[in-house]
Amino acid sequence: MYKEIILDYYKNPRNRGSLESPQSIARDSNPLCGDVVEMQLKFSNEKVSEIRFNGDGCAISQASASMLTELVMGKSIDEVRKIDKTVLLENLGSPNLGAVRIKCALLPLKVMKTALYQYLGETIPREEGSAIS
Ligand code: FES
């Protein structure tokens, strides 16, 4: 089941690309492989009004980034704060990933949260940091 979801999002990525004048951009790589994910966000009325991702990496990382853009789009800042690894992995079909591949799935989440908190002028709260890695 999760393989179909991941392949679908990998082959037909939603929200891949760049925004004109994003209000926040974050980019990071998986230290184990060097694969990269970038997130660009715009906000309006305390909600995410636009989001795009770019990246170069394995199917899991790119599918996860794409799925995450859908989860975040239109959500309030408080709702986005609550999106953690459990939410993301459930939406990816609860893949049975090992210690290495889980980092592929969670890289986009870390990048998206970095972009969110950068916009807010804050750092990722410690308890939230442990819920996304
Ligand atoms: Fe590099 Fe998955 S192998 S992010």
- CB distance 23 to 43 below 8 Å: yes
**CA 133, CA 109: separation in Å to the nearest integer?**
8
Residue 30 CB less than 6 A away from ligand 1: yes
Kindly give the interhelix angle for 59-72 and 2-11, rounded to the nearest 10 degrees: 80
Q: Which residues pair with 76 in a beta bridge?
A: 47
Count other C-beta atoms under 10 Å from residue 55's C-beta: 23
Q: Closest by alpha carbon to 27, among 64, 56, 63, 70?
A: 56
Residue 10 has pLDDT above 90, yes or no: yes
What the chain holds in terms of domains, given with CATH numbers, is 2-122 (3.90.1010.10)
pLDDT at residue 80 in the model: 98
- Has residue 1 got a pLDDT over 90? no
Instruction: Please list the residues that pair with 28 across neighbouring strands.
Output: 37
pTM summary value: 0.96
**Helix, strand, or coil here: 53?**
strand
Q: Which atom from ligand 1 is nearest to the alpha carbon of 34?
A: 1
Sign of the torsion angle spanned by Cα atoms 40, 72, 82, 120? positive
Pocket test residue of 9, 28, 32, 62 for ligand 1, highest count of atoms within 8 A of CB: 32
12 pLDDT band, cuts 50/70/90, is very high
For residues 124 and 62, give the distance between their C-alpha atoms in angstroms, rounded to a whole number: 22
Least confident of 25-29, 50-54, 55-59, 123-127: 123-127
Nearest CA to ligand 1 atom 2: 104
Q: Supply the residue whose CA is at minimum distance from atom 3 of ligand 1.
A: 58
Average pLDDT over residues 117-126: 95
Token representation of residue 122: 């804050």
Query: Are residues 65 and 92 in contact, defined by beta-carbon separation less than 8 angstroms?
Result: no
Quote the ligand 1 centre to 128 CA distance (angstroms).
Answer: 23
Render pLDDT for 82-114 as a digit per residue (tens, 0 to 9): 999 999 999 999 988 999 999 999 999 999 999
pLDDT digits (tens, 9 = 90+) for 32-78: 999 999 999 999 999 999 999 999 999 999 999 999 999 999 999 99
